[in-house]
Chain A
Amino acid sequence: DVKVTQSSRYLVKRTGEKVFLECVQDMDHENMFWYRQDPGLGLRLIYFSYDVKMKEKGDIPEGYSVSREKKERFSLILESASTNQTSMYLCASKSGGIYEQYFGPGTRLTVT
C-alpha cells in the first residue's frame, strides 16, 4: 500500500511566522502535490513537482513556496503566514501517467 505521511495533523502558528509542512511518500512516485482544502471550494492545487528539484505552480501559489530535495519528500513553505492561510493542507503523490493520486492525512493549519 502506498503511504503518504505528513509531519503534523494540527498546527497553530502566529501571523508572520515561517511555516514548514513536510510530506513523505514511500512508493518512489515521481509526482508530488500540495493542495489546500476549504469548505465549498474542494481541493485547490498550490504547487506540484514532477521530479527532484523541479516544481510548477498550481492554481493558487501566491504566498507559498516548495522544496523537493529528495524524491520521497516534498515540503510546503509559508514564508510569512497570514490568517487567510488558515486551512487544511493535503499532500499527494502519484506515478507518471494518468494514475490516481494518493493522499496524506492532511495538516490543519490555524494562523492566529
Chain B
Amino acid sequence: AQSVSQHNHHVILSEAASLELGCNYSYGGTVNLFWYVQYPGQHLQLLLKYFSGDPLVKGIKGFEAEFIKSKFSFNLRKPSVQWSDTAEYFCAVSSNNAGNMLTFGGGTRLMVKP
C-alpha cells in the first residue's frame, strides 16, 4: 500500500519568508501527485498537480512543486509567503495500480505572521 509523509506538522513564518513543505511517498511505480490547500473555513482545493512531463510544476498563487523521482519526493515551494497563505496543506498521491485512489499525507498547518 502506498503511504505519504509530510514531515512538518506545523510551520510558522513571517511574511516574505520563503516556504518549502516536504512530501515523501512510498510507492515505487508510476504516480500522480497533488497538493491541496484548505484555507480557514473553506473547502479543500487543488493547488497544483503532476501527472507527467516537466517535473517542476507551477500552481495557483505563486506556488510550485518539484517531483524528484529518485527521492520519492514532491516538495511544495513559494519564494515569498503572504499572510493570506495561512492554511493547511495536504500532499496526495495516486497510482494507476491503486485504482487512482488518493492517499493523503497528514497535512501541514502553515501560519504566516503579518
- Which residues of A does B touch, CB under 8 Å? 4, 33, 35, 39-45, 48, 58, 90, 92, 97-98, 100-106
Contacts and interface: CB of A to CB of B under 8 A. Distances in A.
A41 B96 contact: no
B9 A104 contact: no
26 contacts: A33-B102, A39-B107, A40-B9, A40-B107, A41-B106, A42-B4, A42-B6, A42-B104, A42-B105, A42-B106, A42-B107, A43-B90, A43-B102, A43-B104, A45-B101, A45-B102, A90-B43, A97-B100, A98-B51, A98-B96, A100-B46, A101-B102, A103-B36, A103-B43, A103-B45, A106-B43
Contacts of B68: none
Interface in B70-106: 90, 92, 94, 96, 100-102, 104-106
A98 B101 contact: no
A100 B59 CA distance: 13
Contacts of A33: 102
A84 to B, nearest CB: 18
B44 A103 contact: yes
A71 B45 CA distance: 22
A9 to B, nearest CB: 10
A33 B103 CA distance: 12
A41 B90 CA distance: 10
Interface string B16-50: 00000000000000001010100000111110010
Nearest to B45: A103
Given A45-B101, A45-B102, A98-B100, A105 B107 contact: no
Nearest to B109: A39
Given A42-B107, A98-B51, A105 B101 contact: no
Contacts of B94: 98
Contact of B44 (A39, A90, A97): A90
Contacts of A100: 34, 46, 49
